[in-house]
Amino acid sequence: MKAADKTPKQIPVTVLTGFLGAGKTTLLNRILTEHHGRRIAVIENEFGPEGVDNDLLIQDRDEQIIEMNNGCVCCTVRGDLVRILIDLKDKQRAGALNYERVIIETTGMANPGPVCQTFFMEDEVASYFRLDAVITVVDAKHGMQTLDEQPEALNQVGFADRLLVSKVDLVDDADYQALRSRLVHINPRATITPVNFGEVDLKEILDINGFNLNAILDIDPEFLAEEHPDAAEHGHDHGHDHGHDHAHEHGEQCAVDGCSDPSHHHAHGHHHHHHDDAIGAFVFKSDKPFDPMRLEEFLGGVVQVYGTDLLRYKGILYMSGVNRRMLFQGVHMLMGADAGRAWAPGEKRGSKLVFIGRNLPRDVFMHGLEQCLV
């Protein structure tokens, strides 16, 4: 191959995550057997000295399966994953491999954060690979319980650009809707699609540009609709620090501290349960412009303080003195901003930002952002 002669365009990478037994391997097998004509390199991450999943994966001549055997992606991310990716890059350049995209299947226990950060923090990786999206498989049958018991599962949902719900065949519609509603509250950014034994339209999970600043900020309208009428300002952040990590109050009462608004109780009646998840989201909206200096200072500060608890954040910004939409997004402490398209004549200008994180102090963000408006 003469791949080495070409200026390579960045190889898209999909991170496939989901809790133990959720159906990641089933989905991956489906992708690999489908005749989609795309050459995919798969990085498998396994616990323990011996990989089991590799034997279960259907091998195809078009695919290269590389396995990481020594532990969890999140613990070895600075080492193994970087080494494997650089090795993939070198082999591609040397013509020993030929793939056009990479899928990383993470262990069910992994937090996708460090995996994602690798693509922004390691220059050699970032120059050759582009993180496309995080896809999280959630088991309809066991998902509720897993979310109750495993903080990593909440992280996986919080990070996702797409949520695929497997095993819907095993539950009734009410259970599915309850799970769906909970997922929307943890992560209103991600679309939610049922997937039967890994059967999924590849267009739904590949080339999503989830980490691209220009991608539209799609927030599930349900997130706002089923909340309080002014949810944009008072959207329940289900991430208040109640001193317990992922306990749940299947409750009557609004979880927002000091809130005694009965309409909130009513609003929660729409859900089957009220899950006070440690990971949650809130949205800031305003049609007043931001003062760029103040905003930069504020965001820089909160990212320093809350970076580890911020999973994903993303927004369209209406800036004073700028006739373009500004786009910004981040993962933990890594924040990026870019100029988007110009505001159209007559277009209603405004900002919309979504923050997904663990026990974030919503008021600090909301009031702080408010202070940055002109």
Given the complex with ligand GTP, which of 166 and 351 has the nearer CB atom?
A: 166
> For ligand GTP, what does the binding mask look like between residues 44 and 63, x meaning CB under 6 A?
---------x----------
d(CA 209, CA 207): 6
Of the listed pieces 62-70, 162-170, 216-224, 255-263, which binds ligand GTP according to CB under 6 A? 162-170
CA 15 vs. chain centroid, Å, equals 10
**DSSP annotation of 63:** -
Of 232, 351, 347, nearest to 289 by C-alpha is 351
Largest Cα–Cα distance of the chain, in whole Å? 68
Find the binder of ligand GTP among 14, 92, 111, 166 (CB under 6 A).
Answer: 166
Amino acid at 45: N
> Where does residue 243 rank: exposed (0-12), middle (13-18), buried (19+ CB within 10 A)?
exposed
Find the binder of ligand GTP among 101, 167, 180, 185 (CB under 6 A).
Answer: 167
Residues 107-126 that bind ligand GTP (CB under 6 A): 108
Residues 179-198 that bind ligand GTP (CB under 6 A): 196-197
Residues 20-49 that bind ligand GTP (CB under 6 A): 20-26
Cβ atoms within 10 Å, residue 89: 19
Given the complex with ligand GTP, which of 136 and 187 has the nearer CB atom?
A: 136
Does position 67 interact with ligand GTP (CB under 6 A)? The reply is no
Q: Which helix (H) or strand (E) is 54 found in, with range? A: helix 53-56
Q: Count interface residues toward ligand GTP (CB under 6 A).
A: 16
Is the CA virtual torsion 342, 346, 347, 350 positive or negative? positive
Of the listed pieces 18-26, 122-130, 200-208, 231-239, which binds ligand GTP according to CB under 6 A? 18-26
| Least distance in angstroms from the C-beta of 213 to ligand GTP | 31
CA 76 vs. chain centroid, Å, equals 20
User: What does the binding site for ligand GTP look like in residue numbers (CB under 6 A)?
Assistant: 18, 20-26, 53, 108, 166-167, 169-170, 196-197
